[in-house]
Amino acid sequence: MGVAQLTALLALVTMPRAQAVWLGRLDPKQLLGPWYILAVASREKSFMLEKDTRNVEGVVVTLSAKNRLELLSSRHGLEGCSQSTVELQRRDSGWVFHNPPLGVLEYRVLGTNFRDYAVVFTQLEFGDEAFNTVELYSRTKTASEEALRLFTKWSKGLGFWSQQQTQLQRDFTCAHRILQ
């Protein structure tokens, strides 16, 4: 990464309400496999009320035969653990994925070391509610300091208030349903 790119990235991270952009190349195959979601920042209406009761989630990222990302996720809900699968297709430019009929307008990796963590931005629209999230994916049950720092920088840089961010409770019951 050149000095100009690094300067642009640092300016973007520190700017409030910055646009989410990917400033590098991502091979989606590097994102494949199992992940724990350990932290979330969200503008969803009910998030601030629910954030203290949310548990670690699990997600398995695979690549379909049609070169689409498939996300199998498991999270705790009102009726216990629930699983869902979402298929995302790549947009024309860059490594941005989406599935508008399912409400996923944008899915992109903001930062990653490809081995231990990824910070993922998602723009969603369900009914009359449009919102975005930033999630910290981790290959292990505990995020590194580097990963937490990057998650916090992106969350703040994208204008999330501290009340809109949380580290998820360390209950791995639902995550382990798909990650075992």
pLDDT band at 20 (very low <50, low <70, confident <90, very high): very low
Domains delineated in the chain: 30-179 (2.40.128.20)
pLDDT at 6 over 90: no
The stretch 8-27 carries a mean pLDDT of 43
pTM: 0.85
pLDDT tens-digit map of 89-145: 998 766 899 999 999 999 999 998 888 999 999 999 999 999 999 999 999 999 999
pLDDT tens-digit map of 110-124: 998 888 999 999 999
Reduced 3-state DSSP string for the chain: CCHHHHHHHHHHHHCCCCCCCCCCCCCHHHHCEEEEEEEEEECCCCHHHHHHHCECEEEEEEECCCCCEEEEEEEEECCEEEEEEEEEEECCCCCCEEEHHHCEEEEEEEEECCCCEEEEEEEEEECCEEEEEEEEEECCCCCCHHHHHHHHHHHHHCCCCHHHEEECECCCHHHHHHHC
pLDDT at 65 over 90: no
pLDDT band at 18 (very low <50, low <70, confident <90, very high): very low
